[in-house]
Amino acid sequence: MAQQIKIEPVTRIEGHAKITLTLGDDGKVNDAMFHVTQFRGFEKFVEGRPLTEMPSITARICGICPVSHLMASAKACDDLLSVEIPPTAVKLRRLMNLAQFTQSHALSFFHLSSPDLLLGFDADPATRNVVGLVRKHPQRAADGIKLRKFGQRAIELLGGKRVHPAWLVPGGVNKALDPAAREEILAGIPQALDIARRTVEFFKTIVDQFHHEIDCFGNFPTMFAGLVAPHDLWEHYDGTFRFIDSDGIDVVELNEPREYQRYIGEAVEEFSYLKSPYYKPMGYPDGIYRVGPLARVNICKGFGTPLADEELAEFRQRAGNPALSSFHFHWARLLETLHAVEQIQRILEAPDILDKQVRARARPNRLEGVGISEAPRGSLIHHYKIDEDGRMVWANLIIATGHNNLSINRGVLQVAKEYVDGTKLKEGMLNRVEAVVRTYDPCLSCSTHALGQMAMKIELTDREGQVLDVLKR
């Protein structure tokens, strides 16, 4: 009888997941599947609702990155209204998105992944968590909390609250920036910048310890995709949507978000509620690509801010250009955090940042609209169709973690092949399988628009599907 080891619930991923590993006759892993097990149906139940409610409704898909859906949705609505939003509103939206990058990346790195990186993948799971981190590395843990607070507070000062601020509206934002709020955010910059800098410095001193993980944590050639700004600069809000191949060569660039369906197909697998988007011209499943921090860093030429660009040069030298191992999502995330803080300062110092004209008003002028923005985890696409009265008739949402689904599956297989031998699972192996998933900082609540607690289950089955062993958290 198969022995069961229960480790419940799974920590440090956002959402509900299960992994199945299939063994061959020799006891080696043949196949791996990453199952996302919830269904929520946002795309269906928004039908009939007025388009102006869409940012608020879709925001409720996720409270973890509470601004991302608001951003993509507001952009899709801008497209439906066919308006050009005031320049100050663009800056303010950018500001909020960067604040969110800071807080979300801090959460991913310090709270979710640092226990593996600082305490060790094979450390006792009882202490391999944020509490263990606080005990052993109080300074790092405090840095994480402070950096996250900086981002959260900036979101609150801009939008009135930290989670799901109703400030982002079709046509811009609904309130100009308060000078006092500007001062308060600016006052927090020096500390946030220090933390971001010393965290990158620190990461560079430990990254070489993980050469074995770097080699097998989703280390394979794929395409990369994301937004990119004019002059090939890093982008998170606007710009064009670019695909590059694994050699770093531009494959295609979408000038209009509405073109996305020409290049992105969505496959559905029976084993998961998470859709698997793929690059259409390559077909499924060959059209695998990655999005998120690693992709954004790979597709651009530079950040455009001095500190981040300096670090990027070293990253390229040490991790490759493009960097192919998903382990380097961590490093890329830290680079983005550094840039976000630099850029927040730059935007706050713009002469028109306190301008009162922050909203363009219009009625729906188009029946179909698409908005693409970058969530911390990667590209987020909202695609809406409305009737002539402005009511939603159809919606399609492609979420960052969805884009990465094929890659996560392959990464899990790669790690499992490397670490799993025989028919008995070991905890350290389980944690590495989880950890490869964690590098992507997946948000399963978002990606299925699903509801649930964090949980992960790993099943070991033979070729006939007989369950040999189960690890549950």
Of 85, 84, 40, 75, residue with least CA distance to 54 = 75
Instruction: Provide the token pair at 310.
Output: 């300096």
Site for another protein in 361-380 (CB under 8 A): 361, 363
User: Smallest gap, in angstroms, from Cβ of residue 391 to another protein?
Assistant: 5
Per CB under 8 A, the list member of 40, 385, 391, 426 interacting with another protein is: 391
Cα 349–351–354 angle (5° rounding)?
Answer: 90
Under the criterion CB under 8 A, does residue 390 sit at the interface with another protein? yes
**Residues in contact with another protein, total (CB under 8 A)?**
19
Half-sphere exposure of 145 (CA within 13 A, CB side): 10
Under the criterion CB under 8 A, does residue 170 sit at the interface with another protein? yes
Give bridge partners of residue 109 from the DSSP assignment: none
Looking at residue 353, the DSSP 8-state letter turns out to be T
DSSP-derived pairing of the beta strands 16-23 and 455-461: parallel
Under the criterion CB under 8 A, does residue 189 sit at the interface with another protein? no
Q: What is the C-alpha separation between 233 and 100, in angstroms, rounded?
A: 19
Q: In terms of CB distance, is 49 or 417 closer to another protein? A: 49
Under the criterion CB under 8 A, does residue 40 sit at the interface with another protein? no
Q: Cα dihedral sign for 56, 59, 63, 67?
A: negative
Under the criterion CB under 8 A, does residue 166 sit at the interface with another protein? yes
User: Smallest gap, in angstroms, from Cβ of residue 76 to another protein?
Assistant: 13
Per CB under 8 A, the list member of 7, 57, 134, 307 interacting with another protein is: 57
Q: In terms of CB distance, is 160 or 179 closer to another protein? A: 160
Under the criterion CB under 8 A, does residue 360 sit at the interface with another protein? no
Per CB under 8 A, the list member of 38, 40, 60, 426 interacting with another protein is: 60
Q: What is the C-alpha separation between 358 and 243, in angstroms, rounded?
A: 32
Q: In terms of CB distance, is 146 or 391 closer to another protein? A: 391
User: Smallest gap, in angstroms, from Cβ of residue 77 to another protein?
Assistant: 9
User: Smallest gap, in angstroms, from Cβ of residue 370 to another protein?
Assistant: 19
Of 226, 246, 223, 276, residue with least CA distance to 406 = 276
Check if the beta carbon of residue 289 is closer than 8 Å to that of residue 222: yes
Under the criterion CB under 8 A, does residue 265 sit at the interface with another protein? no
Q: In terms of CB distance, is 56 or 129 closer to another protein? A: 56
Under the criterion CB under 8 A, does residue 56 sit at the interface with another protein? yes
Instruction: Provide the token pair at 169.
Output: 């509206």
Stretch that binds another protein, among 168-176, 277-285, 290-298, 305-313 (CB under 8 A): 168-176
Longest dimension (CA), the chain: 71
Per CB under 8 A, the list member of 62, 169, 297, 399 interacting with another protein is: 169
Q: What is the C-alpha separation between 175 and 333, in angstroms, rounded?
A: 30
Per CB under 8 A, the list member of 164, 182, 197, 382 interacting with another protein is: 164
Cα 461–chain centre separation:
31
Q: In terms of CB distance, is 27 or 50 closer to another protein? A: 50
Residue 59 vs residues 67, 211, 383: alpha-carbon distances, Å: 7, 38, 15
Q: Is the peptide bond before 442 cis (omega within 30 degrees of 0)?
A: no
Per CB under 8 A, the list member of 15, 55, 226, 287 interacting with another protein is: 55
Per CB under 8 A, the list member of 31, 43, 53, 184 interacting with another protein is: 53
Stretch that binds another protein, among 53-61, 123-131, 235-243, 421-429 (CB under 8 A): 53-61
Q: In terms of CB distance, is 33 or 57 closer to another protein? A: 57
DSSP-derived pairing of the beta strands 233-234 and 223-229: antiparallel
Q: What is the C-alpha separation between 211 and 36, in angstroms, rounded?
A: 29
Under the criterion CB under 8 A, does residue 38 sit at the interface with another protein? no
Per CB under 8 A, the list member of 1, 6, 26, 48 interacting with another protein is: 48
CB neighbours (10 Å) of residue 325? 22
Check if the beta carbon of residue 441 is closer than 8 Å to that of residue 329: yes
User: Smallest gap, in angstroms, from Cβ of residue 381 to another protein?
Assistant: 21
3 state DSSP class of 270: coil
Per CB under 8 A, the list member of 5, 31, 40, 49 interacting with another protein is: 49
Under the criterion CB under 8 A, does residue 258 sit at the interface with another protein? no
Going residue by residue from 121 to 160, which x/- string records binding to another protein, judged by CB under 8 A? ----------------------------------------
HEC readout, 123-147: CCCCCCCHHHHHHHCHHHHHHHHHH
Check if the beta carbon of residue 450 is closer than 8 Å to that of residue 38: yes
Binding site for another protein (CB under 8 A): 48-50, 52-53, 55-57, 60, 164, 166, 169-170, 174, 361, 363, 389-391
